[in-house]
A and B are shown apart, each in its own frame.
Chain A
Amino acid sequence: MRPENYKPVRHPPSHEYELYFGPNHPGIEGNYAIRVRLKGDVVQEAITDAGYLHRGFEKIMEERLWVQNVALVPRICVPDPVPMEESYARAVETLGGIEVPERAQWIRVLMLEMSRICAHLFTFGGNAATIGLYTNMFWGVTMRDLFLDIFEEITGARIYHMYITPGGVRRDLPDGVLDRLAAVLDELERKKPEFDDLFFENAVVINRATGVGVLTQAQALAWGVTGPNLRACGLAHDVRRDDPYLVYPALKFDIPTATSGCSLARMHVRRAEVEQSVRILRQVMERLRTVGGPVRAHLPNPLAWNVPAGEAYARTESSKGELAFFAVSNGGPKPWRIQVRGPSQMHGVQVLERILEGARIEDVAQIMFSLDACPPEIDR
């Protein structure tokens, strides 16, 4: 019996062939596929095949109350859910004209930066695994688990926190969590030389990742690249600095950049970002010990909350790049339209297809991981 889409073809000469890369493949970041046409082991053409994770987010969100959507938004991007909550909450606050209490703003920054570290640690592990270094994978994931424990203590959940709601955060920090977070940060810094040994100073990584998957600055700007991928091309663009939100203007941090735009440069930028996040976290923890007050603004009854009509656009710097929510309200209890601007759509589809051309088959997985696209967010 032949499969539904079976079409007999005349096969081209055997040194030219097509590989279906994924969706069941350990070198793929999620449920996602690429069709690569190869000549020998050089990629001639790559066509991405997304849609395995489509859930119709933007449509579902129109059918739920504004507050119900708080539970839905983190599910857009699994490894880095907090920026989704933050963007959505800020869009709703802009529409409703709600002022977030100061303590809640500091707590939000704490969550955002912890989430960034988690996502970067996960990417390290994945990126190293694609070139055969599984120790990194084990270490990265285990290190990330320490942060997940803190998340669990604060919010009650490891992955999807649903902690940032319009108007503030759900509840205050538990006692002593800042000390435990400080211990985790110390542990991360203590482990840093070992991570460096294993990855950034590893001859295998340097030889495999230098000059692979190069993206020039002009290309990056033309293709809408943001986040660490853009900073690896030498442009210090960061929403936290260029369009500040929450209490970021009060924080001291650098925006790390690299110049070469290759796979390794992108990972170097991520490594430096983890360092900056630790720096931010330490400042935030210090402030949180002194800043008091409520963590939630007063909201109308959430089940009968008619958010005033209008439009709002809220952008956040996520670990993948610039993430934004565009929310339109017609004054009803449910959103009239929600549009998600995710960074992975550009990185995982347009950019990937172009920079894979001319790459070698063994580098495909690595290039894909170094771009750090998030398939659930591409499909939504």
Chain B
Amino acid sequence: MSENAGSRNPLQLRDQPETCRTADAEERSAWQRVIGRFADNCRARSLFVLHYCTGCGAIELPPTITSRFDMERVGVSPMVTPRQADILLITGYVALKTLKRVILSYEQMQAPKYVIGFGSCTINGGMYWNSYATIKQLDQYIPTDLFIAGCMPRPEAVQEVFLELMRMIDAGKANAWRDYYRNYDHYLANQQALFGPQWHTPTDIVAEAKHYGLMGPGTTGPHTRLLDQHAEWALDRIPEDYPERGENERSER
């Protein structure tokens, strides 16, 4: 037994999709559907919003969170880390520099995750329709579940959109996040159009899609193929004098 364990390459585990994979819809038994339904129900009642405010909409969040409108009574509260958050609330215009961080945060969040575009700026550029520094349509870069119209929307509108999101989650309809896996190539193409062909993030979306059985017709394509090249380029770019682990040990001796 010990021999077996020793010879097994731990990396090979990842190539066996059967060992750990979320079942496809057809494969799900009635029992699993019941559990899924129950999970959706619970999920809708405990939502955490990532505490990242991109634009001017940030000023209406303190009133929404604090005593007057108090979003905690509908079961939504702020969360400081992306990995524990469910909702990414994009509060207004997104400058290019911010968009990079938004995409990084979005990819770090664990599915199921929901994106809400807050204010006209996320819908069509709003006030900044002719600005050279902001993006115009948020859903070209990350899939968005809901938008709030207005410049700037009132706290009541923010609460209403949370309630609407809960209804959607409860009914199993808030599935925009699946689209990111199914059509990753489309989103990546738009991101690369902005940031150049060198753009890539530390998260391996294609591998995740494979792992969770979320591959779709648009997951891979010409743009994701560029990513594979980057992996090789990145290896080339490590400076010559970068100490290998072995070297370090030797120099210490």
Instruction: List A residues at the B interface (Cβ < 8 Å).
Output: 1-4, 6, 8, 10, 23-26, 30-31, 51-56, 59-60, 63, 71-72, 75, 78-79, 122, 125, 137-138, 141-142, 144-145, 148, 158-160, 376, 379
Contact at A52–B98, with CB atoms within 8 Å? yes
Contact at B62–A78, with CB atoms within 8 Å? no
Q: Given the known A-B contacts A2-B202, A75-B127, A159-B152, are A142 and B68 also in contact in the complex, defined by CB atoms under 8 Å? A: yes
Contact at B105–A24, with CB atoms within 8 Å? yes
Separation of A122 and B201 alpha carbons in the complex (Å): 36
Q: Given the known A-B contacts A26-B80, A51-B97, are A159 and B67 also in contact in the complex, defined by CB atoms under 8 Å? A: no
Contact at A1–B98, with CB atoms within 8 Å? no
Separation of A138 and B130 alpha carbons in the complex (Å): 37
Residue picked from A4, A8, A71, A148, most chain B C-beta under 10 Å: A4
Looking at B36-44, B45-53, B138-146, the stretch in contact with chain A turns out to be B45-53
Separation of A235 and B199 alpha carbons in the complex (Å): 50
Q: Does B6 contact A (CB under 8 A)?
A: no
Contact at B51–A24, with CB atoms within 8 Å? yes
Contact at B68–A78, with CB atoms within 8 Å? no
Contact at A51–B95, with CB atoms within 8 Å? yes
Q: Which residues between 104 and 157 of chain B lie within 8 Å of chain A, taking CB atoms?
A: 105, 127-128, 130-134, 151-152, 154
Q: Which of B53, B78, B133, B154 contacts A31 (CB 8 A)?
A: B53
Q: Which of B52, B58, B127, B131 contacts A78 (CB 8 A)?
A: B58
Q: Which of B50, B151, B201, B227 contacts A3 (CB 8 A)?
A: B201
* B37 CB, nearest partner CB in chain A, Å: 33
* A221 CB, nearest partner CB in chain B, Å: 32
Contact at A145–B68, with CB atoms within 8 Å? yes
What are 15 contact pairs spanning A and B, CB under 8 A? A1-B204, A1-B227, A3-B200, A3-B201, A8-B239, A24-B52, A31-B58, A52-B54, A54-B97, A54-B133, A55-B134, A60-B130, A78-B56, A141-B66, A160-B151
* A279 CB, nearest partner CB in chain B, Å: 27
Main secondary structure of the interface of B (DSSP, over half): loop
Closest to A139 in B: B67
Contact at A4–B67, with CB atoms within 8 Å? no
Separation of A63 and B129 alpha carbons in the complex (Å): 12
Contact at B56–A75, with CB atoms within 8 Å? yes
What chain B residues lie within 8 Å of A2 (beta carbons)?
A: 202, 231, 234
* A137 CB, nearest partner CB in chain B, Å: 7
Closest to A148 in B: B63
Question: Told that A23-B101, A55-B128 touch, could you supply 11 new A-B pairs with CB distance under 8 A?
Answer: A1-B201, A1-B202, A26-B80, A53-B55, A55-B133, A56-B133, A60-B131, A142-B63, A145-B63, A158-B60, A160-B151
Tally of contact residues, B, Cβ under 8 A: 48
Contact at A52–B154, with CB atoms within 8 Å? no
Closest to B242 in A: A8
* A136 CB, nearest partner CB in chain B, Å: 11
Q: Which of A4, A63, A159 contacts B198 (CB 8 A)?
A: A4
Contact at A137–B66, with CB atoms within 8 Å? yes
Separation of A141 and B61 alpha carbons in the complex (Å): 10
What chain B residues lie within 8 Å of A26 (beta carbons)?
A: 51, 78, 80
Separation of A185 and B154 alpha carbons in the complex (Å): 24
Q: Does B59 contact A (CB under 8 A)?
A: yes
Q: Which of B101, B127, B239 contacts A24 (CB 8 A)?
A: B101
Q: Does B238 contact A (CB under 8 A)?
A: yes
Closest to A1 in B: B231
* B196 CB, nearest partner CB in chain A, Å: 9
Closest to B151 in A: A160
Closest to A60 in B: B131
Contact at B127–A10, with CB atoms within 8 Å? no
Contact at B93–A3, with CB atoms within 8 Å? no
Separation of A72 and B134 alpha carbons in the complex (Å): 15
* B84 CB, nearest partner CB in chain A, Å: 13
What chain A residues lie within 8 Å of B66 (beta carbons)?
A: 137-138, 141-142
Q: Given the known A-B contacts A10-B243, A23-B101, A78-B56, are A55 and B131 also in contact in the complex, defined by CB atoms under 8 Å? A: yes
Separation of A112 and B97 alpha carbons in the complex (Å): 33
What chain B residues lie within 8 Å of A53 (beta carbons)?
A: 55, 93, 95, 98
What chain A residues lie within 8 Å of B80 (beta carbons)?
A: 24-26
Proximity bits, B58-79, A CB within 8 Å = 1, else 0: 1110110011100000000010
Residue picked from A10, A75, A79, A379, most chain B C-beta under 10 Å: A75
Q: Does B230 contact A (CB under 8 A)?
A: yes
Closest 10 CB pairs of A and B: A24-B52, A2-B234, A78-B56, A138-B66, A141-B66, A141-B62, A52-B98, A78-B59, A56-B133, A54-B133
